[in-house]
């Protein structure tokens, strides 16, 4: 896209490089995730932190990609295959996409009309900027959302702990007994 703006002439190539780099990083993450899944399935091993990494990769890449698309006066729809279709089918698919978007907008507006936003303990909470500042700008959701209220079953806590501990020990004893049976049966196979 040609421009006489000197800032755009300088920033556009750098933004294009950043966008391409983000695309390759997303591709690399997809490969890492594939190896993670295969590793868990076949080798009982896991790459720690892959889900957190994915959140960062996708958020940063989406922000840079969307910014670049807006700067280029483009749209962010993925239409790699759209150009391969005949013109009439492109029109049909564009119409379907527009109608789907409109239907989603209507649905979102309809769901938003039902009532005001409400905090839900353990699920969602609107924290103020002052609260976030007081927490040292930590954005860990649990810090603000809290936990959902639990139902009181009427059983005193001491008794519940004692009962659950007894059940756990019984289950562990049964597990040990079954482990011995399995070892004995495997020993007979030798």
Average pLDDT, the chain: 84
Same domain as 21, residue 2:
yes
Judge whether residue 168 has pLDDT over 90: yes
Tell whether 99 and 111 lie within a shared domain: yes
The pLDDT of residue 180: 93
Flag whether pLDDT at 3 surpasses 80.
Answer: no
Which structural domain, as residue segments, surrounds residue 90?
Answer: 80-115
Q: What is the pLDDT of residues 84-143, one digit of tens each?
A: 889 999 889 888 988 998 888 888 777 666 667 788 888 888 888 899 889 888 888 778
Residues 108 and 129 in one domain: no
144 and 164 in a single domain? The answer is no
Number of domains in the chain: 4
Cα 103–Cα 104–Cα 110 angle in degrees, nearest 5: 90
72 shares its domain with 131: no
Residue 161 CA to residue 1 CA, distance in Å, equals 69
Q: Is the pLDDT of residue 83 over 90?
A: no
Residue 129 neighbours by CB under 8 Å, 6+ apart = none
In terms of DSSP H, where are the helices of 72-156? 87-113, 129-134, 141-145
Q: Say whether both 84 and 140 belong to one domain.
A: no
């Amino acid at each position: 896209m040609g421009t006489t703006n000197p800032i755009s002439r300088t920033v556009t190539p750098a933004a294009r490089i950043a966008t391409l780099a983000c695309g390759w990083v997303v591709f690399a993450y997809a490969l890492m995730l594939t190896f993670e899944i295969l590793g868990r399935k076949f080798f009982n091993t896991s790459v720690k932190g892959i889900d957190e990494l994915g959140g960062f990769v996708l958020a940063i890449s989406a922000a840079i990609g969307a910014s670049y698309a807006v700067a280029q006066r483009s749209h962010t729809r993925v239409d790699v295959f759209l150009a391969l279709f005949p013109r009439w089918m492109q029109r049909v698919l564009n119409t379907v996409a527009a109608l789907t978007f409109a239907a989603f907008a209507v649905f979102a507006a309809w769901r938003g009309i039902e009532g005001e936003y409400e905090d839900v303990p353990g699920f969602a909470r609107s924290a103020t900027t002052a609260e976030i500042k007081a927490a040292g700008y930590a954005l860990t959701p649990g810090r603000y959302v809290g936990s959902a209220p639990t139902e009181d079953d009427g059983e005193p806590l001491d008794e519940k702990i004692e009962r659950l501990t007894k059940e756990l020990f019984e289950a562990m004893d049964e597990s040990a007994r079954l482990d011995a049976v399995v070892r004995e049966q495997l020993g007979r196979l030798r």
